[in-house]
C-alpha cells in the first residue's frame, strides 16, 4: 500500500487507512513554517520521542514522578521495548492494528503508548471512567483486538470483553509495571522479555492515533492523526511557550484527552522535561504534587483551577513558574484570582481533539488578559459567516483554523464534511478577531440563545452571574418558550446551597440586569448541587437541557 506521494506504508493491517475520509474532504495542511519543513517521509514518533532522548544522553534523567516512584528516560525506553515485544510476539500485533489503552495517568500507560507506536500499531486511548457500553462502541468502531488496561479498571474492561466478540487479548498492568498483583499479566510478560526492539519503519503519514472525542452530544467521533502530526504538534505551541528541559509539569487532564497527552507525555518527551503524574485529578493531589516534586508548570482546565483556589494556602507553590488553561474558556475573574493568590499568569488557549494541540493561545506574558490569543506559529485562523465566507476583523462568527494538523474522522464522511469547509477546520466556536489580530471568545455556536429575536451569548450571561459573590459555578442555556422562542435559564451552584430560593433568584436576576442589557437576564433560575461535566471538565449543556 502506498500513501499520497508514493511513500510505502508500513501498515499490514490497512483498516484505518481505508476508512480515512476522502482526500477531497480533508482540510488544507500547511507545513510552510520554517520549523515544520524538516520532517522526513518516514517517521516513527515513539523513536523520535524516547529513543532519541536516551541516545542524546538523557537516560538517567527522571521523566516521570508517580507517587513515591520515579522513572528515568532509560527505564521508560526499556519498558516500552519489552511491551512492544509482548504485543508482537505474544499477541500477534501487526503494523496498523489498533490497541486500546485504558488507565489513569500512570507511567506504565505511557510505556504502553510508546510500545504500540514502536510496533507500528495505532493507539486508541480511553478515559478511565468510561463504562462498558461506551468502551464497547469504541472497540467495535475501531475494530480493536488488543486492549491494555490498568488492573484497577479491570471490571468494566471485563464487561466490555463479554459484550463484544472482536476483543481477543486483554492484558492488565499496575501503575509502575512492577507485577506485584497476581493478575498483572502484562507486567509479568514484559519482565520475561529481553530488552531491545526493532522499531517498525512507519511512514510519516501512517496513522498513529485514533482519539475519540469526549462526546458531549451523540456517539463520540474518532479523530485520526499520523506520526508526523505528533511531532508537528510538539513543534508548534511548546516552541512559542518555552517548554524547557528543566521543566517539571503537572496538572489535571487525562492522558486520554489530547490536552493531557500533549502536556504530560508528548511535550515533555520532545523537550526532555519531566512530568508528575497524579492518578486522579483531585485538587489536593495536584497541589501536593507541586509541593513534593517542585513542579514548575501547571496545566489544567478552568474547573480544576477553580477547585484548587480554596486550597492554595495549604501548600508551598513557590516552585511554580507557569500555568496553562484550556478545555474551556478561561474567565477573567478566575485569571485575576490566580494572579492575586499566586502571582501566576494563567495562559489561556484553545485546542481540540481534531487538531491534537493548541492552535490559538495567549502570549506567555499574557499581554491581553481575557483574550483567547493569537494563532500559534504554524497555524492560521479566521472568522467565517454562516455561509463559511471570511468576515472582516471586528466581526463575530465561526472560528476556522488550519495548519500542520487537522480533522480526519474515522469512517464518518458526513461529520467530516460538516467540520471541514473550504479547506478550514470549523471549530464550532463563536469568536471575534480584533484589528490587532487577537481572537476573543464569545460562545459555542450551538450555545447561542435566540430569544424574542435577540441573539444572546450564554457565556456573556455566565460571566456576569459568576461575579455574584454567592455563586460558585454557573451554566446558562436556552430553553423553549412558546412566546419568546427561547428564554435564558441559569443553572447555578452556590457556595452555600442553603441560601437557594426565590429571593436569591430575584437578586441574581437584578444583578444581571444591572450589568448587561436587561433582555439578556435569566428569566429562569435553577439552583442545582453540581454541574454535569465530561471527564475532561467540560460542562454538558445538553444534560442541563434534559433536566
Q: Are residues 458 and 419 in the same domain?
A: no
Q: Enter the C-alpha cell of residue 502.
A: 426565590
Residue 386 within any structural domain of the chain: yes
State whether 394 and 291 are in the same domain.
yes
DSSP output for 212-245 = E---SSSSPPEEEEEHHHHHHHHTTHHHHTT--T
- The grid coordinates of residue 138 equal 469504541
Domain residues for the domain of 194 are 15-433
- Whether residues 399 and 495 share a domain: the answer is no
Calculate the alpha carbon distances from 107 to 63, 312, 490, 495, 509 in Å: 9, 27, 41, 36, 49
Mark whether 368 and 269 lie in a shared domain.
yes
pLDDT at 1 over 80: no
- Say if 28 falls within a structural domain: yes
The answer on 473 and 414 residing in a single domain is no
492 grid coordinates: 447555578
Distance CA 537, CA 547 (A): 19
- 260 located within any domain: yes
**Which is nearest to 258 in space by CA: 352, 124, 359?**
352
Question: Which residues share a beta bridge with 297?
Answer: 249, 322
- Which helix (H) or strand (E) is 259 found in, with range? helix 258-261
On whether residue 449 sits in a domain, the answer given is no
Nearest alpha carbon to residue 226 among 16, 22, 47, 35 = 16
Question: Are residue 537 and residue 501 in the same domain, yes or no?
Answer: yes
Which position has the grid cell 503519514? 205
Grid cell 454538558 is found at: 540
pLDDT of residue 216: 40
Kindly report the number of other CB atoms within 10 A of residue 479's CB atom: 16
- Of the three residues 402, 433, 464, the one that is the final residue of a domain is 433
Grid coordinates representing 78 are: 526499556
The alpha carbon dihedral of 337, 343, 344, 345 has a sign of positive
Question: 10 lies in a domain?
Answer: no
Whether pLDDT at 333 is above 70: yes
C-alpha cell of 39?
Answer: 520532517
Residues 6+ apart with CB under 8 A from 130: 102, 138, 156, 535
Number of domains into which the chain is organized: 2
Angle formed at CA 541 by CA 518 and CA 487, multiple of 5 degrees: 30
CATH number at residue 200: 3.40.50.12780
Establish if 238 belongs to a structural domain: yes
DSSP-derived letter for residue 406 is: -
> Are 379 and 461 part of one and the same domain?
no
Side-chain-side CA neighbours of 418 within 13 Å: the count stands at: 7
**Residue 530 shares a structural domain with residue 461:** yes
pLDDT band at 472 (very low <50, low <70, confident <90, very high): very high
| Phi and psi at residue 455, to the nearest 5° | -90, 120
Query: Which tens digit of pLDDT belongs to each residue from 176-213?
Result: 999 878 899 999 999 999 999 999 999 999 999 999 98
The Cα–Cα gap between 323 and 296 comes to 9
Which regions of 291-413 does DSSP assign to beta strands (E)?
A: 297-300, 322-325, 346-351, 358-361, 374-375, 380-384, 396-402
- The pLDDT score that the predictor gives to residue 179 is 80
Cα 531 from chain centre: 20
User: Residues 368, 464: one domain?
Assistant: no
pLDDT of residue 2 exceeding 70, the answer is no
Q: Are residues 158 and 68 in the same domain?
A: yes
pLDDT band at 422; cut points 50, 70, 90:
very high
SS3 category, 111: helix
Q: Residue 63 belongs to what H/E stretch?
A: strand 62-66
Most confident of 125-129, 210-214, 397-401, 445-449: 397-401
Of 399, 433, 467, at which residue does a domain stop?
A: 433
Domain endpoint, select from 386, 403, 433: 433
- Do 265 and 177 lie in one domain? The reply is yes
Reported as a pLDDT band with limits 50, 70 and 90, residue 84 is: very high
In a domain, 188, yes or no: yes
Most confident of 215-219, 302-306, 444-448: 302-306
Co-location of 95 and 172 in the same domain: yes
pLDDT of residue 4: 65
* CATH number of residue 510's parent domain: 3.30.300.30
Check pLDDT > 80 for residue 81. yes
Angle between helices 73-85 and 185-192 (to 10 degrees): 100
Q: Are 35 and 234 in contact (CB under 8 A)?
A: no
Residues 160-177, buried b or exposed e (16+ Cβ, 10 A)?
bbeeeeebebbbbbbbbb
Asked whether residue 445 is assigned to any structural domain, the reply reads no
What is the structure's pLDDT at 359? 96
Amino acid at each position: 500500500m502506498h500513501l499520497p506521494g508514493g511513500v510505502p506504508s508500513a501498515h499490514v493491517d490497512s483498516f484505518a487507512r481505508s476508512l480515512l475520509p476522502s482526500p477531497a474532504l480533508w482540510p488544507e495542511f500547511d507545513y510552510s513554517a520554517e520549523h515544520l519543513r524538516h520532517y522526513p517521509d518516514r517517521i516513527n514518533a515513539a523513536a523520535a520521542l524516547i529513543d532519541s532522548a536516551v541516545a542524546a544522553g538523557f537516560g538517567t534523567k527522571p521523566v516521570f514522578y508517580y507517587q513515591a516512584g520515579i522513572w528515568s528516560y532509560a527505564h521508560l525506553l526499556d519498558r516500552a521495548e519489552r511491551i512492544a515485544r509482548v504485543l508482537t510476539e505474544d499477541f500477534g500485533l501487526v503494523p496498523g492494528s489498533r490497541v486500546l489503552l485504558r488507565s489513569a495517568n500512570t507511567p506504565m500507560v505511557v510505556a504502553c503508548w510508546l510500545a504500540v507506536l514502536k510496533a507500528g500499531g495505532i493507539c486508541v486511548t480511553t478515559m478511565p471512567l468510561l463504562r462498558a457500553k461506551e468502551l464497547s462502541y469504541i472497540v467495535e468502531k475501531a475494530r480493536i483486538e488488543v486492549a491494555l488496561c490498568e488492573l484497577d479498571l479491570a471490571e468494566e474492561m471485563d464487561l466490555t470483553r463479554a459484550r463484544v466478540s472482536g476483543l481477543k487479548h486483554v492484558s492488565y498492568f499496575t501503575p509502575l509495571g512492577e507485577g506485584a498483583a497476581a493478575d498483572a499479566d502484562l507486567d509479568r510478560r514484559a519482565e520475561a522479555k529481553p530488552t531491545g526492539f526493532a522499531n517498525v519503519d512507519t511512514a510519516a503519514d501512517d496513522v498513529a492515533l485514533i482519539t475519540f472525542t469526549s462526546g458531549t452530544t451523540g456517539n463520540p467521533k474518532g479523530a485520526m492523526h499520523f506520526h508526523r502530526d505528533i511531532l508537528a504538534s510538539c513543534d508548534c505551541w511548546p516552541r512559542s511557550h518555552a517548554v524547557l528541559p528543566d521543566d517539571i509539569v503537572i496538572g489535571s487532564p487525562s492522558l486520554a484527552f489530547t490536552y493531557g497527552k500533549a502536556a504530560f507525555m508528548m511535550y515533555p518527551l520532545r523537550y526532555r522535561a519531566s512530568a508528575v503524574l497524579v492518578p486522579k485529578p483531585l485538587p489536593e493531589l495536584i497541589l501536593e504534587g507541586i509541593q513534593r516534586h517542585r513542579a514548575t508548570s501547571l496545566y489544567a482546565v478552568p474547573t480544576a483551577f477553580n477547585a484548587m483556589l480554596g486550597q492554595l494556602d495549604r501548600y508551598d507553590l513557590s516552585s511554580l513558574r507557569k500555568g496553562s488553561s484550556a478545555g474551556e474558556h478561561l474567565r477573567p475573574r478566575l485569571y485575576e484570582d490566580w494572579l492575586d493568590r499566586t502571582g501566576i499568569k494563567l495562559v489561556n488557549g484553545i485546542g481540540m481533539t481534531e487538531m491534537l494541540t493548541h492552535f490559538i493561545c495567549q502570549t506567555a506574558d499574557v499581554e491581553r488578559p481575557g483574550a483567547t490569543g493569537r494563532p500559534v506559529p504554524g497555524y492560521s485562523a479566521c472568522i467565517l459567516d454562516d455561509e463559511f465566507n471570511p468576515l472582516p476583523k471586528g466581526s463575530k462568527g465561526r472560528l476556522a483554523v488550519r495548519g500542520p494538523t487537522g480533522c480526519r474522522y474515522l469512517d464518518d464522511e458526513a461529520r467530516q464534511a460538516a467540520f471541514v469547509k473550504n479547506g478550514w477546520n470549523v471549530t464550532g466556536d463563536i469568536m471575534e478577531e480584533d484589528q490587532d489580530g487577537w481572537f476573543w471568545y464569545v460562545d459555542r455556536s450551538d450555545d447561542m440563545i435566540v430569544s424574542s429575536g435577540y441573539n444572546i451569548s450564554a457565556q456573556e450571561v455566565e460571566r456576569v452571574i459568576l461575579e455574584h459573590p454567592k455563586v460558585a459555578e454557573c451554566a446558562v442555556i436556552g430553553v423553549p418558550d412558546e412566546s419568546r422562542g427561547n428564554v435564558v435559564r441559569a443553572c447555578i451552584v452556590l457556595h452555600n446551597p442553603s441560601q437557594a430560593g426565590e429571593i436569591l433568584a430575584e437578586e441574581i436576576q437584578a444583578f444581571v440586569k444591572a450589568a448587561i442589557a436587561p433582555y439578556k437576564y435569566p428569566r429562569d433560575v435553577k439552583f442545582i448541587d453540581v454541574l454535569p461535566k465530561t471527564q475532561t471538565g467540560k460542562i454538558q449543556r445538553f444534560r442541563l437541557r434534559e433536566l
